Amino acid sequence: MFGWGGGGTLTCELPGCQRPRWESNGTVHEYCGRSHALQATRGQVNAPHGNCHQCKLDGCEETVYFEEAAQRVHDFCCKGHADIAIERGDHPRSERSHGGGGAAAAVPPAQRCCLPGCSSERFTDADTGFQHDFCGRTHAVLARERAIVPPDAQLHADRSVVERSFGGRDNMTISVMTNRHPKYQSIKRQFAETWRHPTAVPRVERILQIRNPDDVYSRYEARKGWLQHQLGDADEVRRFHGTSLSAKCSFGIALGQPPCDYTDCALCRICSGGFQLSHVGSGAGGWGGVQRYGNGLYFSGTSSKSNDYAIKAVRGRREGTCCAMFMCKVLRGQKYSTPDSTMTQQEVDGLIGSGFTSVEGLPGAGPGTRDQLNYDELVVYNDADCIPSYIIVYKTD
C-alpha cells in the first residue's frame, strides 16, 4: 500500500511519513531517504523528527510524542491534543488500554500485551468479548513488522516467538524471552558475574530461547541417559560459547530479521542443526580457533572468555557493535581436569580411548605445568554432549 501526496506525488512507505519518495536518475524509491529505508527494513523506530512526525492536531507544529520504552511514535505531541482531536471527530479513539503505573503492574502476565516491553492489558472487543493478542492496533502492527508472533499455549506469556520452522524444521522454535521469564534474570546475572576480563560488562540487549529440532534434542537426551547409566551422573552444566554472525546476517540484533542460511554464519547454523565437530576449524563458518585441547567443541564458564571468540558485528549507529553468545547445556560426563594450558591431539585421543569424555582446563599454573591458563575451558568430543539453549545478544559499545 502507498499514499499520494499533493499533486499526485507518491509518499514514503514508512507508516506516518508524508514526505515524497526519493527520486534519483529517473528511479522512484520506496522511501523518502536512507534513514526511513533503514528504519523500515530493520524493524526499529527512530525518535520522531521533521515534518513527517508533526502533531496531527490542525494548527499544531510540535513534534509528536515518542514513547522510547515501547518504541512507539504517537500521533500527537501530548495527550491534551489527542483528546481535542478525538472530541472533534478528526481522529479515531485508540483501542490501546491506558493502564500505566500501578494499573499496568496489576495486569496478570497472561493478560498483558504480547509485544515485548509492553505491560498494558490486551485489547478486548466490547461487542464479542474476544481478547486480542496486543493492547491495540499500533502494537499489533509493530509486532508484525518485527516478525514477532504471539506465544502459543506451550510457550505461555513470558516469551514471544520470532521464528518457527527454520531450515525446514517444523518442530523448532526461537523466541525472545521477556524479563518475566523465570530464567531470564539468572541467565543475565550469570553473564555479568562471570565477566572476569578487566573491561566493562557489556549491556545485554535481549535473550533468545532455542527449542531445538527433535533430532538434535533427542540425540542429546539419549547421550545424557547413557552417561547417567554408565557413570551414575552425566554432570550437566551451563556454559558459554562465543560465536560469529555473517556480515550479511542481523538475526538477534534486529528483531525483524529471521535466521539466515549463509554458510559463513555460525550462529544460524548452530541454531538449525546443533553443534557439529565436522564444522570445527573449517574456515568460513567454522567454529574453531585456538584448539588447546585437540579437535573438540569448546565452552567456558567465563562469559568474557567466550567473548574472545564472538566475532563483533557492526550494524550501524543505532545497533552499534553487537555480539552473540550461546548459553549451552554441556555434559561433562567423565571429565579429565588439567592445569596444563595445552594438550596434543595424541594425548587427547589417549584420554578418550581410556573412557574420558571431556577435558576441563583449569586456570592458574600448577606444579610442572607447561603454561598458565587464564580462564577455564571445557571441551567435549561428541556432538551429542552439548546443546544450544539460549542466545545472549549484547552490545560492546
The residue range of the domain holding 16 is 6-88
| Type of residue found at 274 | G
Would you state the pLDDT for residue 104? 43
Would you state the pLDDT for residue 65? 75
Angle CA 262–266–269, to nearest 5:
65
User: Is 355 found in the same domain as 216?
Assistant: yes
> Can you give the C-alpha Rg of the chain in angstroms?
25
Cell reading at 158: 513470558
Q: Do the domain assignments include residue 131?
A: yes
User: Is 278 found in the same domain as 237?
Assistant: yes
Q: What are phi and psi of 319, to 5 degrees?
A: -75, -30
User: Is 267 found in the same domain as 232?
Assistant: yes
Cα of 223 vs its chain's centroid, Å: 28
Q: Do the domain assignments include residue 95?
A: no
- Which uninterrupted H or E stretch holds 129? none
Would you state the pLDDT for residue 5? 43
User: Is 108 found in the same domain as 72?
Assistant: no
Relative to beta strand 358-361, strand 313-314 is unpaired
Would you state the pLDDT for residue 24? 60
Q: Do the domain assignments include residue 93?
A: no
Look at residues 63, 88, 113 and tell me which one is the last residue of a structural domain: 88
Would you state the pLDDT for residue 326? 95
Would you state the pLDDT for residue 3? 42
Relative to beta strand 236-242, strand 66-67 is unpaired
User: What is the tally of structural domains in the chain?
Assistant: 3
Provide the 3-class DSSP secondary structure of residue 80.
helix
Q: What spatial distance separates the first Cα and last Cα of the chain, rounded to whole Å?
A: 38
User: Is 378 found in the same domain as 235?
Assistant: yes
| Type of residue found at 238 | R
User: Is 348 found in the same domain as 389?
Assistant: yes
Q: Do the domain assignments include residue 97?
A: no
pTM of the shown model: 0.61
User: Is 120 found in the same domain as 261?
Assistant: no
Exposed, middle or buried, 182 (CB in 10 Å: 0-12/13-18/19+)? exposed
Q: Give the whole-angstrom CA distance, residue 39 versus residue 32.
A: 11
User: Is 179 found in the same domain as 39?
Assistant: no
Mean pLDDT, consecutive 10-residue stretches, the chain (397 aa), reads: 45 72 67 66 54 70 67 70 69 51 57 73 81 81 66 52 60 78 88 92 89 91 95 95 84 75 87 85 46 91 90 54 90 94 92 95 67 87 95 85
Q: Do the domain assignments include residue 73?
A: yes
Residue of 290, 279, 266, 260 lying closest to 375 (CA atoms)? 290
Q: Give the residue ranges of DSSP H helices in the chain.
A: 34-42, 79-88, 102-106, 137-145, 184-193, 214-231, 266-273, 303-307, 316-319, 345-353
User: Is 168 found in the same domain as 129?
Assistant: no
User: Is 342 found in the same domain as 280?
Assistant: yes
* Contact by Cβ (8 Å): 302, 308: no
Q: Give the whole-angstrom CA distance, residue 80 versus residue 186.
A: 42
Angle CA 252–13–119, to nearest 5:
50
Q: Do the domain assignments include residue 96?
A: no
Q: Give the whole-angstrom CA distance, residue 274 versus residue 271.
A: 6
C-alpha torsion sign, points 23, 24, 30, 34: negative
Task: Name the β-bridge partners of 11.
Answer: 20
Residue of 267, 281, 308, 293 lying closest to 378 (CA atoms)? 293
Q: Give the whole-angstrom CA distance, residue 381 versus residue 75.
A: 57
Residues listed for the chain: 397
Q: Give the whole-angstrom CA distance, residue 76 versus residue 96.
A: 15
DSSP letters spanning 337-378: EES-S---HHHHHHHHHTT--EEEEPSS--TT-SS--SS-EE
Q: Which residues contact 276 (CB under 8 A, 6 or more apart)?
A: 383
| Type of residue found at 384 | A
Q: Do the domain assignments include residue 228?
A: yes
Q: Do the domain assignments include residue 94?
A: no
User: Is 362 found in the same domain as 276?
Assistant: yes
User: Is 317 found in the same domain as 298?
Assistant: yes
CB atoms within 10 A of CB 51: 10
CA dihedral 245, 285, 162, 178 (to 10 degrees): -60
- Which uninterrupted H or E stretch holds 209? strand 203-211
* Contact by Cβ (8 Å): 316, 254: no
Q: What are phi and psi of 357, to 5 degrees?
A: -115, -10
